[in-house]
Amino acid sequence: MTIVRTRFAPSPTGNFHIGGIRTALFSWAYARHFNGIFILRIEDTDINRSTLSATQAIINGMKWLGLNYDEGPFYQTKRINRYFEIINNLLSSGFAYYCYSSIEEIELLRKKQRSSGEKPRYNRIWRPEPGKILPSIPINRKPVIRFKNPLYGDTTWNDLIKGKITISNKELDDLVIVRSDGIPTYNFCAAIDDWDMKITHVIRGDDHINNTPRQINILKALRVTLPFYGHLPMIIDSNKIKISKRKEAADIMYYKKKGFLPEAILNYLARLGWSHGNAETFSIKQFCYWFSDFKHLSKSPAQFNLKKLEWLNNFYIKSYDDQKLLSLIQPIIKKRKNIKYNTLNLLKIISLFKNRITTLTELADIIIIFYSTPKLHTELLKKYITDIIKLALVECILQFSNITWEKQILNITLKKILEKFKLNMPQLAMPLRIILLNKLQTPSIDLILSLFNRNIVLDRIKNAIKSLNNI
């Protein structure tokens, strides 16, 4: 039985795109389901746009998400000798030829074709044919090498996702397989790589559909076994526009910085255009077990929904124990603020707030407020503090200075203050929430107070009263 071999082959020319991650995920999960091989290949022949930083971002992103590869990373720029071995074979067998048309000549040709309503394409002036006399070779002009695409017939494949696709060979140009600078092009390299690496299933975005017949024809010219092809619909934003590779919010590392968990990212992307019954939350192990074919993948574009991703992230954050969250939060806090904290208190804060946030950075922001004074929201305070409330806050300073600092005693003390000034709990709790956390909604105020250092509470109340007196 043939071993399933899939690949993820990104080009390092921009952010590590969230659409690329989804492609990698489906390729990886399919290989894992069948105990196959998953390969990482870096398609870096676009030398002017490929960067080492983008390459490293791909490797780091795969590692962070846990999408481990069995072979690679392979780099196309290190396989140039192999490509020219095949190119020379194609030249000698008549499946490729040198083309000396200049860029200016090609552009002028295309301009004329557009003006006359024709589809722009190369006119095959340098394509050798029996009895054809080729133009004289221009002096000092470096040629490209073109693949001799079939002039007639169709190229057909049964797409794993979209079904049968047929493209007329008349619609295809004679593809440039080596540029004038001597670098082989993407379509040629990808086809040869898939052959050499024994790829059985090519799973990629549907923006590659037009590349597939070109690659199939190259492989047919070499008389090799074709892989199966499957093309995933693109990811679109709320405006139904394809998410750009160069937008920050499309970068997978952006979500890491924002405090999203790998489990949430993978769970969300797995459900983006795929389903297994009504299952919304599932482990990556469960997904690999279910993903045995491509029948449940949508043929239509999948719309990215940040709110749904945040909901999933909250789900996974809540599933983590407090100690594990602490280990994830500490590096974030260290980067944001140099604060001294009590680890036991930190665990209590995490336990209290992890159900109320959607990202790790939100949780870090809340923790920092407990140890680093935030800018006072005076406009909000003015809305909730009356003269009587101000007196009650002064009383809080007096009472809080001499009590045992624990939730139960704080609750009793607050009730005494409320009784003295004939107030209800929300009237006093709301200003205290704003003073301490700059928030209108928090868990019970006595619990919040107990998590703070007593002196921090007293200082913040004093500063709030002083600020209001100066307005």
| Binding site residue list for ATP | 245
Cα→Cα distances 296→67, 230, 232, 276, Å:
22, 13, 12, 7
302-303 and 235-236 strand pairing: parallel
Q: Exposure of 248 by Cβ count < 10 A (0-12 exposed, 13-18 middle, 19+ buried)?
A: exposed
Burial profile 5-24: b = 16 or more Cβ within 10 angstroms, e = fewer: bbbbbbbbbbbbbbbbbbbb
Distance CA 206, CA 13 (A): 19
71-75 and 37-42 strand pairing: parallel
Which residue, among 307, 314, 163, 232, has the nearest Cα to 17 in the 3D structure? 232
Cα→Cα distances 341→369, 372, 433, Å:
11, 10, 20
- CB atoms under 10 Å from CB of 68, counted, come to 11
DSSP code of 399?
A: H
Q: Exposure of 173 by Cβ count < 10 A (0-12 exposed, 13-18 middle, 19+ buried)?
A: middle
Q: Are 452 and 341 in contact (CB under 8 A)?
A: no
- The answer to whether the bond into 73 is cis (omega within 30° of 0) is yes
Tokens of 246: 């160069």
Question: What phi and psi, each to the nearest 5 degrees, are found at residue 64?
Answer: -60, -40
Helix/strand/coil for 21: helix
Measured between alpha carbons, how far apart are the two ends of the chain, in Å? 80
Residue numbering of the annotated binding site = 245
Instruction: For residue 32, give every residue at least 6 positions away whose Cβ sits within 8 Å of its Cβ, in sequence order, or none.
Output: 38, 288
What stretches of 320-406 show up as alpha helix (H) in DSSP? Answer: 322-336, 343-353, 360-371, 378-384, 387-400
- CB atoms under 10 Å from CB of 99, counted, come to 19
